[in-house]
Structure 1
Amino acid sequence: MLELEGLTRRFGAMTAVDCVSLAIGPGEMVGVIGRSGAGKSTLLRMINRLTDPSEGRIRWNGREVTALRGRALRQWRGQCAMVFQQFNLVPRLDVLTNVLVGRLSHVPSWRALLRLWSEEERAIALSALEQFDMGALAPQQAGSLSGGQQQRVAIARALVQEPAIILADEPVASLDPRNTQLVMDALAEINRRYGITVLVNLHSLDLARRYCDRLVGLTAGRLVFDGPPEALTDAVARRLYGLEAAEVVGAVPALADA
């Protein structure tokens, strides 16, 4: 169980996340929605502790995450994998090595630095790639791939961390409709097959409704909606997005049926 209690983050005079309290159960796939600047990215970065809260607490199965430091914090980040909008791959390294980076929390630092990966670790990484139809691209440089392919590599890297939670921060923001579907299908498959909790920031309400069991809506850093997709009415969408509501509803009409 992931619990957020009064979570707040200020940057000077600006409050990016304002007293958010949530409880997210194991195995949920939760869409975090809201307009740009609503605090979605800051919320996920606080959960992973890439950004420290100004106030409030984060707990995982009763453990106080906000108090973690040093090795314990690194272990938490291993349990709580991030998928970023801009992929965060090393372009000049091959795809398989980029995925193996996800094993850093499972091997001694010296072995990772020297890239002395075991056959078992290589097999784990290749298996993750093959789950997303990327196995044949394992020897290619990551920088030579399309955006959608790079994002699936990033998801495979997150999977080999063996995380309890995956936090995906606008993972399809720069992708075309076909690659958007491939990436969202990959996240949904991880959620269903392994029971990994997934929190995904999305701009499109159609995508959120299609893929997520639960939606959490932020406006100006405040939690204003928490419920199933069918409860997200047009009135709620207008509250979340204002004049952008018509734009974000129906933003991905070209997605094929699953």
Structure 2
Amino acid sequence: MLVLDDLTRRFGERAAVDRVSLNIKPGSFVGVIGRSGAGKSTLLRMINRLAEPSGGTIRWNDEDVTALRGRPLREWRARCAMIFQQFNLTGRLDVLTNVLAGRLSRVPAHRSLLKLWSVEERAVALAALERLDIANLAAQRADRLSGGQQQRVAIARALVQEPEIILADEPIASLDPRNTRLVMDALARINVDYGITILCNLHSLDVARHYCHRLVGLAAGRVVFDGRPEMLDEAAVRALYGLEAEAPAVPPEAMDAARNASMRTAAFQY
């Protein structure tokens, strides 16, 4: 279980994340929602330790993540994979090499620098690409792919890390509706098939309601909503977004099809 206890991140006098306490059960798919600047990205970056907490603790099962340093911290970042809004691929390299970067924590530095990947490692990377229906792109340069294809490459890279948690920071923010569906479908399948815990920052309430088992809403760095998607009523939305309204980012019928195939068929208790 992932346990956040009074997790805080301050920038000067301002608290970007303010005493957040959450228990996230293994295998859950949690959507983190809220306005821009609510603290969503900072929260995920602290869990991965890309941002240092100003206070509070992060625990994964019996491990104190906030106390990790050196190699144990690098190992945690491999087990807690990040997917970013801007993909973070190396554009001049081919897709397969970008995916193999997810194995860096598992191989000696000289092998990775010289690209001396084993047959087994290449097979793992190709299997991840096949899983995401983009194995045919393995030899292409990453910068020649569409945004949706690049994000699926980034997901494949995270998958070959063999993570226990995937943190997806606005993974569909720059994508069109079709690629939004493809990327969210991919995350939903990974969650179901591998039992990997997923925390996903999302702007679109429509997407969040259809894919996530649980929603955590942040406003000014604090948790103001925590519950199942069907519990997010108009009053809760106002607390999160004020008077802002949102149009669906993806056609409802497409979302319904994805939802029926996702883990929402299983009961979720939080």
With the shorter chain as reference, the TM-score category is: over 0.9
- Is this contact kept in 2: 1:178–1:255, CA < 8 A? no
Alignment of 1:1-258 (within 5 A): 1-244=1-244, 246-247=245-246, 250-253=248-251, 256=254, 257-258=257-258
- Is this contact kept in 1: 2:7–2:58, CA < 8 A? yes
Runs of 4+ that moved beyond 6 A: none
**1:90-149: CA deviation from partner (whole Å, max 9, x where unpaired):** 000000000000001111111111110000000000000011110000000000000000
- State the alpha-carbon separation in 2 of the partners of residues 250 and 177 from structure 1: 10
**1:187-208: CA deviation from partner (whole Å, max 9, x where unpaired):** 0010000000000000011100
SS in 2 for 1:7: strand
SS in 2 for 1:166: strand
- Which amino acid in the other structure matches residue 222 of structure 2? R
Unaligned ranges ≥5, structure 2: 259-270
SS in 2 for 1:71: helix
- Pairwise CA distance, 1:252: 3.0
- State the alpha-carbon separation in 2 of the partners of residues 125 and 104 from structure 1: 12
- Pairwise CA distance, 1:254: 6.3
- State the alpha-carbon separation in 2 of the partners of residues 233 and 62 from structure 1: 35
Between the aligned residues of both structures, percent identity stands at 73
- State the alpha-carbon separation in 2 of the partners of residues 255 and 205 from structure 1: 15
- 2:267 paired residue number: none
TM-score when normalising by structure 2: 0.93
- Which amino acid in the other structure matches residue 117 of structure 1? W
- State the alpha-carbon separation in 1 of the partners of residues 79 and 253 from structure 2: 31
- State the alpha-carbon separation in 2 of the partners of residues 252 and 238 from structure 1: 22
- Which amino acid in the other structure matches residue 153 of structure 2? V
- State the alpha-carbon separation in 1 of the partners of residues 19 and 239 from structure 2: 19
- Is this contact kept in 1: 2:177–2:249, CA < 8 A? no
TM-score when normalising by structure 1: 0.97
- Pairwise CA distance, 1:14: 1.4
Cα RMSD, aligned residues only: 0.9
SS in 1 for 2:243: helix
- State the alpha-carbon separation in 1 of the partners of residues 253 and 242 from structure 2: 25
- Which amino acid in the other structure matches residue 59 of structure 1? R
- Is this contact kept in 1: 2:178–2:250, CA < 8 A? no
Q: How many residues align?
A: 256
Unaligned ranges ≥5, structure 1: none
